[in-house]
Amino acid sequence: MDAAVHDRSPQVEQAPSKGPLVYRQSRWTRLTHWIWAFTLFFMLLSGLQIFNARPQLYIGQESGFSYDNTVFQIGAMNTENGPRGFTRIFGHTFDTTGVLGWSGPPGQERARAFPSWATIPSYYDLGTARVVHFFFAWVLSATLLVWLVAGLLNGHIARDLWPRMKDFRRLPGDIAAHLRLKFHHAREYNALQKLAYGGVLFILLPLVIVTGLAMSPSVDSLLPWLNEVLGGRQTARTIHFTVMVLLVLFFIVHMLMILAAGPINELRSIVTGWYRTDPPGSDGERSP
Amino acid sequence: MAKFQLSRRKFLTAASLGASGLMLSGCDAFDSHLGMGDGLRSFLEGANDLTHRAQRLLTRDALAPEFSEADIRQPMRPNGVTAPDDATYKALLSNNFADWRLEVTGLVEKPLSLSLDQLHAMPARTQITRHDCVEGWSCIAKWTGTPLSLVLDQAVAKPQARYVVFHCLDTIDRNQSGDVKYYGSIDLIDARHPQTILAYGLNGKPLPVENGAPLRARVERQLGYKMPKYLVKIELVSSFAAMGGGRGGYWEDYGYDWYGGI
């Protein structure tokens, strides 16, 4: 049963609808979570500004000017109906006027890959975006390191995130429950949560840092194999961008899940650490 | 069933609320705090010093990757000024740079004035490297030139010299105080790096005008804006604070980081 539904029917079953409060999120989890939320917001918007300086992604070491190795492009072109914005993915072109390629207030539209409202600064300024991006890159990396050390020492990673056999057995059931918007409220993460959080923390964030470093010509002199492993500097840049898209998708799903599972309870657990679980005996209860 | 429908309605309401929240990120809110000289910006710029120190500590004399002839698949992409409009430059170009000289001045024991022939007569280095532009693109090309360290050895840097400033012939900007020529600077560690050359050759031919003829810098562990074209003077200084906007280069004066290794 969904606890959120019970909250809406106070005259019946109010008491049994509430399970015990459990201490779910350690202070390290809560602190690093909010630093990342803040940091990734600035990294995303400054990163889109940096992308605007060269709104094209390539495969390989270099960018093809005399040949075509472009896999993604945002641009503007003149048509019979005036300038239009377009987005081209693997040769498939989509009209994205108003958002990607050609955007701005009515009468002041301009050629611009990502629109003004999605970039820091809002006007075109590559130098400033790089200042913002690289500052938060240090914050992101340091926070990930702190989280990793804390998570290994306090057992959070081994206990809460590392997938076990039972998680794989529960996966089909969890998917079915999520599709029916039925959420269990337990101290432990369900299989989909482990996959999503683990994927972000162990794959996406390390990969976005590594591909970011691979674009640095100085790092490239220190670790020349890095770009070879990644498929070349421009491929590293393409992966960097792709990971960004995946992180944004994670964020959207993360927000929807919180809203669907009961935003007050979810927010309480990531602010105070305390989480209201399903009442004992409900079908949402989990054996520990 | 009723419960499920309620929950779905709640979900949809909440979802649309969340989506509209995403659209509200009006980012001009930060614009006013990120201008040059603003306190917040200066604080954020401190991270670049950290990057500079960390990369210096770790990379030391590491060489930028070099590539093979087969990796050169296209002409070198020119960027920035590609045809200087300056009378001085055009006059030099019309004479095929026979009257051009590279002045080596500032904090040196023996100021130099080198012709193109003199540079050609010095030991040369050829390297196939990847040019990384701050904008995000890359291009592989073969560069031939005189190691800057050899020129510095001839001129003999004074002990207080810390930076090499590249002065250029091309006007990149015009403002109230007149023409602004491109300039840039690197420290002596990068200046003495074996791959830092004064390039006069590109892909086996003399350096074309659009790529910086007759001479341009190659600083392979940094981004393209740190490698000025159309060189005319190399000046050794202890500080660039009194030069231009005081930040060590044309683009730096517009807010680019002085250290371009990332």
Q: Is the ipTM of this complex over 0.85?
A: yes
Chain A residue numbers touching B77 (CB-CB < 8 A) = 63, 65
Task: Look at B132 and A237 and tell me if their CB atoms are within 8 Å.
Answer: no
Q: How far apart are alpha carbons A144 and B152 in whole angstroms?
A: 44
On chain B, the residues whose CB falls within 8 A of the CB of A122 are 27-28, 31
* B16 touches A at CB < 8 Å: no
Q: What is the pLDDT of residue A10?
A: 44
For residue A37 the two structure tokens come to 């939320």
Residue of A nearest to B135 (CA): A53
Measured distance CA(A160)–CA(A189) in Å, rounded = 7
User: Is beta strand A110-112 parallel, antiparallel or unpaired with respect to B205-206?
Assistant: unpaired
Measured distance CA(A207)–CA(A199) in Å, rounded: 11
Query: Residue B24 — φ and ψ, nearest 5°?
Result: -85, 5
Q: The dihedral of CA A107, B33, B55, A152: what is its sign?
A: negative
Closest CA to A186 of A264, A250, A269, A255: A269
pLDDT at B178: 85
Residue A120's closest chain B neighbor by CA? B27
> What dihedral do alpha carbons A62, A65, A69, A73 form, nearest 10°?
100
Contact B139, B190 (CB under 8 A): no
Indicate which CATH number applies to the domain containing B146: 3.90.420.10
Whole-number Å distance between alpha carbons of B162 and B167: 16
* Exposure on the CB side of residue B140, measured as CA atoms within 13 A: 19
CA distance B221 to B131: 9
A216-259 pLDDT, tens digit each: 999 999 999 999 999 999 999 999 999 999 999 999 999 999 99
Give the whole-angstrom CA distance, residue B194 versus residue B252: 25
Tens digits of per-residue pLDDT, A71-104? 999 999 999 989 999 999 999 999 999 999 999 9
Q: Which residue of A has its CA nearest to B132?
A: A217
Among candidates A66, A118, A237 on the partner chain, residue whose Cβ is nearest the Cβ of B136: A237
| Coil, strand or helix at B16 | helix
The CA distance from A279 to A184, in Å, is 10
**B7 found inside a domain:** no
Structural domain tally of chain B? 1
B22-50 burial by CB neighbour count: b if 16+ within 10 A, else e? eeeeebeebeeebeeeeeebeebbebbee
Sole residue written with tokens 């840039």: B184
Contacts of B251 in chain A (CB under 8 A): 127
CB atoms within 10 A of CB A232: 20
In this prediction, residue B1 carries a pLDDT of: 40
- Nearest CB to B34 within list A67, A128, A255: A128
In a domain, B125, yes or no: yes
Other CB atoms within a 10 A radius of the CB of residue A4 amount to: 23
With beta carbons under 8 A apart, name residues in chain A contacting B3.
1-2, 5
Per CB-CB distance under 8 Å, the chain B contacts of A138 are: 47, 50-51
Contacts B48 to A, Cβ<8 Å: 131, 134
For residue A93, the cross-strand partners are: A88
> What pairing do the DSSP bridges indicate for beta strands A82-89 and A70-79?
antiparallel
For B92-105, letters b (16+ CB in 10 Å) and e give: bbeeebeebebebb
Residue type, A143: T
Closest CA to A76 of A110, A122, A117: A110
CA B155 to chain A, closest CA, distance in angstroms equals: 28
User: Using a CB-CB distance cutoff of 8 angstroms, which residues of chain B are in contact with residue A259?
Assistant: 11, 14-15, 17-18
Residue of B nearest to A261 (CA): B11
Q: Chain B residues with CB inside 8 Å of A216's CB?
A: 55, 261-262
What is the reported pLDDT for B156? 98
Tokens of A227: 């770009």
CA distance A195 to chain B (A): 22
In chain B, which among 95-154 make CB contacts under 8 A with chain A? 130, 132-140
Domain that holds residue B178: 36-253
Do A50 and B136 lie within an 8 Å CB cutoff?
yes
How high is the mean pLDDT of chain B?
A: 92
In a domain, B105, yes or no: yes
**Cβ–Cβ contact B65 with A under 8 A:** yes
Task: Give the one of B34, B134, B261 whose C-beta lies nearest to A218's C-beta.
Answer: B261
Q: Which residue of B has its CA nearest to A125?
A: B255
**Predicted confidence (pLDDT) per residue in B120-160, tens digit:** 999 999 999 999 999 999 999 999 999 999 999 999 999 99
- The answer to whether residue B260 sits within a structural domain is no
Residue pLDDT tens, chain A, 288 long:
444 444 444 444 444 568 899 999 999 999 999 999 999 999 999 999 999 999 999 999 999 999 999 999 999 999 998 999 999 999 999 999 999 999 999 999 999 999 999 999 999 999 999 999 999 999 999 999 999 999 999 999 999 999 899 999 999 999 999 988 888 899 999 999 999 999 999 999 999 999 999 999 999 999 999 999 999 999 999 999 999 999 999 999 999 999 999 999 999 999 999 999 998 876 543 433
Contact A221 B64 (CB under 8 A): yes
Is B27 part of any domain? no
Judging contacts by C-beta atoms under 8 Å, the chain B residues touching residue A2 are: 3, 7
Distance of residue B262 Cα from the nearest chain A Cα, in angstroms = 4
B162 occurs within a structural domain: yes
pLDDT range class, residue B79, cuts 50, 70, 90: very high
Report the 10 Å Cβ neighbour count for A66.
9
Give the gap in angstroms from C-alpha A245 to the nearest C-alpha of chain B. Answer: 15
Q: Which residue has the higher pLDDT, B90 or A281?
A: B90
Query: Has residue B53 been placed in a domain?
Result: yes
**pLDDT computed for residue B23 by the predictor:** 46
Considering the domain boundaries, does residue B17 fall inside one? no
Using only C-alpha atoms, chain A has a radius of gyration, in whole angstroms, of: 23
Candidates A52, A136, A218, A267, partner chain B, best to mutate (most B CBs within 10 A): A218
The beta-carbon neighbor of A234 closest among B15, B71, B138 is: B138
B254 close contact with A: CB closer than 8 A: yes
Q: Measure the CA–CA gap between A62 and A65, rounded to whole angstroms.
A: 9
User: Which of A61, A216, A259 lies at the smallest CB-CB distance from B140?
Assistant: A61
